[in-house]
Amino acid sequence: MEHRVVLTGSGGLSKVSTEEMQTPECGPHEVRIRVAYAGINFADLLMRLGLYQPRPPYPFTPGYEASGVVDSVGKDVSSVRIGDRVVAGMRHGGQSSMVICDASGVIPLPDEIPLDVAASTPVTYMTAYHILKHLGHIQPHHSVLVHGGAGGVGTAALQICSWLGVNQVFATSSSSKHHIIKQYGAIAIDRYNEDFVSIVKQKTNGRGVDFVLDPIGGENLRHSLSVVCEGGALYCYGLSAAAPSAKRSLLGAMKALRKTPKFEPLKLMNKNRGVFGIHMGTWSDEVVMRSHMQALFQGILDGHLAPIIDRSFASHDVGQAHNYLHNAKNIGKVLLKFHDLE
């Protein structure tokens, strides 16, 4: 029987489960995919905790990305055929054994790219690529600070910086994960026991860095902005500070939100630096997204990029996957596996 992940309400791990479902039918412009892997992201955890928008009303199936094999196509679809290996991005619903997607969001896969690698790419690598290449127009002489350098977006950003020849890269993480940061030539900073502000300032002779990638939020944003150099920017794409554990803590979330700085345009103008918010789940320009994916797949095929998959959980173990991410045990991407299609 087909099944899907469901978030039944806001709260702890009891609010995430799987349930059986009927096989959905395609509309004229839609594609049905038998899912091999679906990505799981920290945003899914925050939605379960009731701390993330936008999200559908509960109950709903989360999931921004899925890979698998085309099972059926609508009568007006010509871009893919039944049996094609594909990856798809969506607003929600990806964590399901069968998904229905608009054909415009479905991308055929090169034969050389495995389905688990494909499912690891749309959110994490696209977020990093969108920031560094599309928005930032990064060049080798630029400098970068990546918070959460051992996570999904973090490892993607480190690989992209290496691919593009960026020489001065800093990354924060727990000390146990520093080996992965150093593997990509970055300077590792202990997130819990070192002051990244003083280290970055010292290593850059007080200048700071051109790019800061911050998925932590809260008070961390204030410190991040302090190391942005003239002409540089702070890119925000998460709020992990609001959910440091698997339990729902409104007090903890309110504390993180209260400490989130309110950026003042005049101060930003005076220091010639910017702040940019990123949420690829709400980005609507499919032409840009498709070009991102094509560039990333080419980077994988050429050996410049190699998505790190920490672990694939069986779909029915989605609660364990949530807890695993909450406890920051992962290095790279975490997936849910629905069907064995390779």
Its domain, for residue 294, covers 3-122+281-337
Q: What is the pLDDT of residue 246?
A: 53
Phi then psi for residue 233, to 5 deg, are -150, 150
Nearest to 39 by CA among 128, 103, 122: 122
Q: What is the pLDDT of residue 54?
A: 87
Q: How many CB atoms lie within 10 A of CB 264?
A: 9
Whether 36 and 69 map to the same domain: the answer is yes
Whether 148 and 38 map to the same domain: the answer is no
Whether 241 and 307 map to the same domain: the answer is no
pLDDT mean values, one per 10 residues, the chain (342 residues): 94 94 95 98 90 90 97 96 96 96 94 97 96 97 97 97 97 96 97 97 97 93 96 91 57 66 88 94 89 96 96 97 92 97 88
Whether 100 and 156 map to the same domain: the answer is no
Whether 65 and 201 map to the same domain: the answer is no
Whether 138 and 265 map to the same domain: the answer is yes
Whether 75 and 190 map to the same domain: the answer is no
Whether 247 and 319 map to the same domain: the answer is no
Q: What is the pLDDT of residue 65?
A: 96
Whether 49 and 19 map to the same domain: the answer is yes
Whether 100 and 181 map to the same domain: the answer is no
Question: At CA 215, angle to CA 55 and CA 272, rounded to 5?
Answer: 115
Question: At CA 184, angle to CA 140 and CA 273, rounded to 5?
Answer: 45
Which segments of the chain does DSSP mark as H helices, in order?
42-48, 115-119, 124-129, 152-163, 178-183, 196-203, 219-226, 250-259, 265-271, 286-301, 318-326
Domain count, the chain: 2
Q: What is the pLDDT of residue 260?
A: 75
Q: What is the CATH number of the domain that holds 91?
A: 3.90.180.10
Whether 308 and 222 map to the same domain: the answer is no
How far are the Cα atoms of 62, 96, 289 from residue 314, in angstroms, in the given order?
A: 16, 12, 28
Largest CA distance in the chain: 61
CA dist 232 and 97 (Å) reads 43
Task: Please tell me whether the overall predicted TM-score, pTM, comes out greater than 0.85 for this model.
Answer: yes
Whether 133 and 70 map to the same domain: the answer is no
